[in-house]
């Protein structure tokens, strides 16, 4: 018996961190390396899907055959996602988008006081960045699938379910930050703990899972969601 041929979908995948500038030499960011997002793009392409990868700053190289769009800030990522999403069948929002950005960006490098031993209080005012996945979820066609992510330090499943419902996602990948001294997971190449939750109420937990295997499970979820939509 010949193996069942996969249907090809147009998948939009975001990866990596964003950087929110403070001045010409400093920025706000996070520990994301883009490892999982790039693994998703590589595996999706290997499965025969058409892949667009929107990536924040990373040291990784885009997989062969994948269209890559480079961005830096949350605003730039929002513009790229909003522009690209209408032609996609599914979105995997794997990027670690900074939640906040400075209200004002200095045009010149901010200097220290220059007085030895002095204590200078410097305040940084922040404003919330746009909620990209919530915006596209409100604008999507009924046939499109959206997978979100939730990194939590506490109440993993409760917070993930709340985000799944409030943002109208098809599924959410919830990951737990590793305790201090036990790696940087889910950042970098460390294995991760967490669960994939869907809108039907199913929860598939995982523990110490390699990111390549997690990427496969996420793609399975996207493909199953899109296949079920085609039957409706």
- E-strand ranges in 72-177 read 90-93, 100-102, 126-128, 145-152, 171-176
| Phi, psi of 44, deg, nearest 5 | -65, -40
- With contact defined as beta carbons under 8 Å apart, do 91 and 81 qualify? yes
Query: What token pair was written down for 13?
Result: 């995948």
- With contact defined as beta carbons under 8 Å apart, do 159 and 121 qualify? no
Question: Which of 90, 106, 122 is CA-nearest to residue 22?
Answer: 106
The residue annotated as part of the active site, out of 29, 30, 58, 178, is 30
Determine the Cα–Cα distance for residues 44 and 94; give it in Å rounded to an integer: 14
Does the annotation count 30 as an active-site position? yes
The stretches of the chain forming alpha helices (DSSP H) are 35-46, 74-84, 132-139, 156-166, 211-231
Give kind and range of the element (H or E) at residue 51.
strand 50-55
- With contact defined as beta carbons under 8 Å apart, do 120 and 175 qualify? no
Query: What token pair was written down for 92?
Result: 């995997």
Catalytic residues: 30
């Amino acid at each position: 018996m010949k193996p069942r041929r996969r249907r090809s979908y147009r998948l939009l995948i975001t990866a990596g961190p964003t950087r929110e500038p403070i001045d010409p030499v400093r920025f706000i960011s996070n520990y994301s390396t883009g490892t999982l997002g790039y693994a998703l793009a590589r595996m999706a392409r290997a499965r025969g899907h058409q892949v667009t990868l929107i990536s924040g700053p990373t040291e990784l190289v885009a997989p062969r055959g994948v269209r890559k769009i480079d961005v830096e800030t949350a605003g730039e990522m929002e513009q790229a996602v909003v522009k690209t999403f209408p032609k996609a069948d599914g979105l995997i929002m794997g990027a670690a988008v900074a939640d906040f950005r400075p209200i004002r960006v200095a045009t010149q490098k901010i200097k220290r006081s220059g007085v030895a031993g002095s204590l200078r209080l410097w305040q940084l005012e922040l404003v919330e960045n746009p909620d990209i996945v919530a915006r596209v979820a409100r604008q999507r066609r009924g046939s499109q699938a959206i997978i979100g992510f939730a990194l939590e330090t506490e109440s993993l499943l409760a917070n993930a379910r709340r985000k799944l419902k409030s943002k109208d996602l098809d599924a959410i990948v919830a990951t737990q930050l590793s305790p201090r001294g036990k790696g940087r997971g889910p950042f970098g190449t460390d294995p991760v703990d967490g669960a994939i939750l869907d809108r039907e109420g199913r929860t598939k937990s995982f523990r110490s899972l390699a990111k390549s295997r997690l990427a496969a499970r996420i793609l399975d979820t996207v493909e199953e969601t899109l296949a079920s939509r085609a039957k409706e």
